[in-house]
């Protein structure tokens, strides 16, 4: 982890966090979630001569997938969110008048960890906000998507969401992690597992 660098870009009309993780020595990288527009992200990647290996999606709501139409890199998605890619009502884009549909076929997360360079990425299935929501753990960093936020949790008043599943995911799969695990959510500031266990009113 000593040579890994993390850059956060707040993009799109819902101020979605897009995370670029790259090795300062090899310049190889992954992106976690790609909102639209994403010119700021593209400019940084080109300016730093970074080689993006793939995009890892935490879930398939429009504010996390819109930038896929701008990039040709392969992308990963949990199989339970496949239906959202091609349905503007399910991915939420229809509500904002954009009707985002992604025609490309994703790579599907498997039970074993992903890797970029020598770094493992643990894929933790955390359904609730969507059926295929995942949290992605790289070292001590946890990218929680819209499952868990600083002082809040993901919405469940939307199609295919379940508050029961969301809270179960948080308690059984996130709260069991070391308390110093840093949480980087899909929106808003970072936090830690320990802080959320103590202060999050929804937990």
Could you tell me the CATH superfamily of domain 4-199? Ribonuclease Z/Hydroxyacylglutathione hydrolase-like (3.60.15.10)
For residue 2, is pLDDT > 90? no
What pTM does this model have?
0.97
Q: Are 65 and 91 in contact (CB under 8 A)?
A: yes
Q: Average pLDDT over the chain, rounded to whole?
A: 96
pLDDT at 42: 96
Rounded Cα gap, residues 155 and 169, in angstroms: 14
Q: Residue ranges of the domains in the chain?
A: 4-199
Residue-wise pLDDT tens digits, 27-81 = 999 999 999 999 999 999 999 999 999 999 999 999 999 999 999 999 999 999 9
Backbone angle region of 50, left / alpha / beta, with phi > 0 → left and psi within -120 to 50 → alpha: beta
* Residue 113 confidence class, pLDDT cut points 50, 70, 90: confident
């Amino acid at each position: 982890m000593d040579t890994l660098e993390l850059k956060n870009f707040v993009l799109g009309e819902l101020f979605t966090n897009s995370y670029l993780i790259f090795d300062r020595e090899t310049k190889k990288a992954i992106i976690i979630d790609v909102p639209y527009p994403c010119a700021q992200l593209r400019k940084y990647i080109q300016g730093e001569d970074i080689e993006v290996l793939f995009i890892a999606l935490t879930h398939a709501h429009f504010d996390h997938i819109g930038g896929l139409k701008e990039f040709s890199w392969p992308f990963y998605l949990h199989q339970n969110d496949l239906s959202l890619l091609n349905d503007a009502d399910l991915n939420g884009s229809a509500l904002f008048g954009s009707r985002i549909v992604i025609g490309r076929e994703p790579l599907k997360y498997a039970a074993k960890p992903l890797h970029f360079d020598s770094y493992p990425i643990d894929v933790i299935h955390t359904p609730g906000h969507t059926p295929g929501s995942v949290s992605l753990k790289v070292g001590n960093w946890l990218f929680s998507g819209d499952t868990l936020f600083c002082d809040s949790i993901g919405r469940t008043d939307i199609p295919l969401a379940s508050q029961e599943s969301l809270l179960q995911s948080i308690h059984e799969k996130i709260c069991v992690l070391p308390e110093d695990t840093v949480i980087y959510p899909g929106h808003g500031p970072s936090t830690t597992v320990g802080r959320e266990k103590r202060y999050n009113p929804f937990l």
